Amino acid sequence: MREKQGPKFEIENQKMILERVIQPKVPTELMAEQAWFGGLIATPLTETLENVNFRKTHPEAAEEATKRLRKVNDLDGLGRIEVYNRQYWFRLISVMQVDYLCTLHVIGLRRYNAWVIQFLQAYLPDSPYLNTLDARFEFFLQEHYNESNREVVLEALAYDRAFALAFEAGLGEKLDLGKSAGADLLSLPLHLMPHVTALRLKHDWPSYRVLCLADETLEQVFDFPMPKLVNCVIYRHETTLFEKEMPGAACSVLRAMREPGTLTEIFDRLPELAAEEQADLETHLSEWFQDFVQRGWVGAPSRPGHLGA
C-alpha cells in the first residue's frame, strides 16, 4: 500500500511543477541554435529597406547555414536566412507604421522607416509581445530628432502614442467614490489610468489623422495640419477607442495626474492658466472630477482601508 502523501508533499510537488514551468531547463544546444539564428535575422536592413545580401555581408555564415537549414526549392540555408531577415524587419516596421500614422506622414514614409530602423537597432526587441515594441520610441525621437519640423513631429508622436496606449495599456485599479470617505479622498494618491491620455495640442491632428487613416499606400503627402488649439482625451472604453474634446483647464488637471499624487499635490502641479481657463476651473472642477471618475479615468491604489480594497 502506498504511503499517504500529506500537505507537505503536495506543497513541495507544486514548487517543483512551478519551477519547471517558470524556469524550464532549455538544452544548451537549442539556446546556441536560437542565438545563432536570432543574431543573423536581426541584421538591419538598409535605410531604403533594401535586402541584405548575406553572401557579401556574412560569407562566413554560409557553411553553418547549410548545416543548420535544409535547402528548400532553390533556397539554400543562407538564402532562407535572407527571407527570415526580411520577414523579421518588415513585421516590426509594419507594426510601427500602423501605430504612428500621423508621425509617418509628417516625416515621410522612407525617412520614417529609416528612423524606425535606427530606433530598433538602439532598442532591440526584448519581448515576444509586439505591444511593447514602441515603448521607448517617443523618448528616442525626443533625444535624436532635431530637424526643422521637430516641434510638429514630436506633437504628432505624442498624439499617435496616445492611441497606442489606449489600445494596449491595462486598466489598473479604478477610483470608486462610493467606497471612500471624504478624508480618504484627500489623502489618497490618485493617478490617471494608463489607457487614458490628455493632450493639449497646437495643431488639428484629429482632422489630419482622418487623412492618414484613408491612405492605404502610406505614401501620400499631406500639408502639415492647420494650427489649432485642440484639447482632447484619448481613451478606451471596453474594446473601443474614443477621442473626446475637453475644456483646456480640464485637460490640464488630467495631465497633472500623470504621476500619482494627492489632490493637493496634483493641483500644485497645474501650470499657470489663462484667466478664462482659471475661472472655468473654479466653476466646473467638482463636476469635471465626478465625470473623470465615472468614466473610469482616475486610478487609485488598492490597499486596506482605501478605495479598491
CA–CA separation, 30 vs 22, rounded Å?
Answer: 18
Output the CA torsion sign for 60, 61, 64, 70. Answer: negative
pLDDT value, residue 87: 87
CA–CA separation, 225 vs 219, rounded Å?
Answer: 17
Distance, CA of 204 to chain centre: 23
pLDDT value, residue 81: 85
Contact 248, 229 (CB under 8 A): yes
Give yes or no for residue 104 having a pLDDT over 80. Answer: yes
Mean pLDDT of 244-252: 97
Element housing 237 (H / E)? strand 227-237
CA–CA separation, 92 vs 298, rounded Å?
Answer: 33
Q: Which residues pair with 227 in a beta bridge?
A: 203
Give yes or no for residue 309 having a pLDDT over 50. Answer: no
Output the CA torsion sign for 272, 162, 283, 184. Answer: negative
Q: Which of 137, 131, 130, 127 is nearest to 169 (CA)?
A: 131
* Residue of higher predicted confidence among 163 and 30: 163
Mean pLDDT of 163-189: 80
Residue 115 CB neighbour total at 10 angstroms: 21
CA–CA separation, 41 vs 63, rounded Å?
Answer: 16
Give yes or no for residue 164 having a pLDDT over 70. Answer: yes
What is the CATH number that goes with domain 173-309? 3.90.930
Where along the chain do its domains lie? 37-164, 173-309
pLDDT value, residue 48: 67
The pTM assigned to this predicted structure is: 0.80
Element housing 270 (H / E)? none
